[in-house]
Structure 1
Amino acid sequence: MTQYTHPPVTPVERWLAKTIQDPESAFRDWEDGRPAVLALGVQFDAVKLPQRLVHAAAGAPERSAVATVLAQLGGPVIWSPPGWYLALVPAGAAETWDSPHAAALGHGAYLPVPRLDRTGPEGIHWTLPIDGARTLCSPAAAAELLHLGRDRQGLPR
Structure 2
Amino acid sequence: MTHDQLAITPLEEWLARTIRDPESAFRDWREGRPAVLALGSLFDAVKLPQRLVHAAASIPEHSAVAAVLGPLAGPVIWSPPGWYLALVPAGTADTWDSPHAAALGAGNYLPVPRLDRTAPEGIHWTVPLNGARTLCSPPAVVQLLHAGRDRQGLSR
Q: TM-score range by the shorter chain?
A: over 0.9
> 1:57-72 alignment to 2 at 5 Å?
57-72=56-71
Indicate the RMSD between aligned Cα atoms, in angstroms. Answer: 1.0
Q: What is the 5 A alignment of 1:119-130?
A: 119-130=118-129
Large movers: runs of 4+ above 6 Å: none
Match of 1:52 in 2: 51
Structure 2, unaligned runs of 5 or more: none
In the TM superposition, what are the counterparts of 1:4-15 in structure 2 within 5 Å? 6-15=5-14
Tell me the CA shift for residue 120 of structure 1. Answer: 2.1
- Percent identical pairs in the alignment equals 78
Which secondary structure does the structure 2 equivalent of 1:117 belong to? Answer: coil
- Report the count of equivalent residues: 153
- Matched residue, 2:114: 115
Could you tell me how far 1:7 is from its partner in structure 2? 3.1
**1:17 equivalent in structure 2:** 16
Structure 2 CA distance, aligned partners of 1:52 and 1:8? 37
Which runs of 5 or more residues in structure 1 are unaligned?
none
Equivalent residues of 1:44, 1:92 under 8 A apart: yes
The answer on whether the counterparts of 1:6 and 1:28 sit within 8 Å (CA) in structure 2 is no
1:57-136 alignment to 2 at 5 Å? Answer: 57-136=56-135
TM-score (ref. length: structure 1): 0.95
Note if 1:33 corresponds to 2:29.
no
d(CA) in 2 for partners of 1:73, 1:118 = 20
